[in-house]
A = this chain, B = another copy of it.
Amino acid sequence: MKNKPTILVVNDDGITAPGIKALIEVMQTLGNVVVVAPDGPQSATGHAITIAKPLRLDGVDLYEGVEMYKCSGTPVDCVKLAVNKVFKGKKPDLCVSGINHGLNNSINVLYSGTMSAAVEGAIESIPSIGFSLDDFELDADFSHCKTYIEIITKQVLKHGLGLGTLLNVNFPKGNAIKGIKICRQANAKWAEEFDERLDPHKRKYYWLTGVFQNNDHGEDTDVWALEHGYASVVPVQFDMTAHHAIPILNTWDFGENKG
């Protein structure tokens, strides 16, 4: 299998999730696949890494002909361990993450383990893509995403991605995807509603729940694209500097303490 690209596959729903199986199946048609994925669910772990306890990384034999490792850590840990201990510094040609069971559009790029793994791939200068489907169910149907994943991945392998840039790809549920829209991240947020309960000892505890609040109705956003039946592709970068605010802060009065 010379000349075929080496592809690292990761996710946050865990190595046995149907979503990663669908992604592996597409990637097997495009290159040599190596999977390093969490040994259990790691949704909403964001860019967390594991520093207070040790990590396990063990080979597993789950799908025929695929080199696979399960990791006890977060999705970002998986990418770090893959680069260092599996690829031993010889980086893969591509890092794909997902397919996530549930959307990772808009602000979810921050909370999502799937997207954080792809961000970590990009930090490692590996062309990286996160894929997510608007369906949280374990038995979600990923079949309609496969053609799109293949098309988008081929374009990434052909053109590459600028250093520090990755893609956040989200698919609507159902068969009738209208096409691919290149988008920006919508300015939306989660409005939390904590479900307050009493345990058997009469002490309060809370379940985090939330309602997605979109206040950004731009037709160039990922939220708009998905609501209108398109697959959204957002180029993502991880320089979080608010560059526009630098000249403003330079006018503030820090007295003699301005350096």
Binding site for B on A (CB under 8 A): 41, 43-52, 54-57, 73-74, 76-77, 80-81, 83-85, 107, 109-111, 116, 119, 123-124, 147-148, 151-152, 155, 159, 161-162, 164-165, 167, 178-185, 187, 189, 192-194, 196-197, 203-208, 225, 230-231, 233-246, 248-250, 252-259
Contacts and interface: CB of A to CB of B under 8 A. Distances in A.
Contacts of A162: 242, 244-245, 248
Given A48-B46, A111-B47, A249-B235, A151 B254 contact: yes
B254 A155 contact: yes
Contacts of A49: 44, 46, 111, 208
A110 B238 contact: yes
A146 to B, nearest CB: 12
Interface residues of A, dominant DSSP: mixed
Nearest to A79: B192
Given A84-B192, A192-B83, A259-B179, A55 B207 contact: yes
Contacts of A180: 254, 257-259
Q: How many copies of this kind of chain does the complex include?
A: 2
Contacts of A231: 259
A52 B41 contact: yes
A205 to B, nearest CB: 4
A184 B246 contact: yes
B123 A119 contact: no
Contacts of A230: 259
9 contacts: A46-B46, A56-B205, A76-B111, A81-B194, A84-B193, A84-B194, A110-B119, A159-B252, A185-B239
A70 B165 CA distance: 38
Nearest to A50: B208
The listed residue with most B CB atoms (<10 A of its CB), out of A49, A148, A155, is A49
Contacts of A85: 194, 196, 206
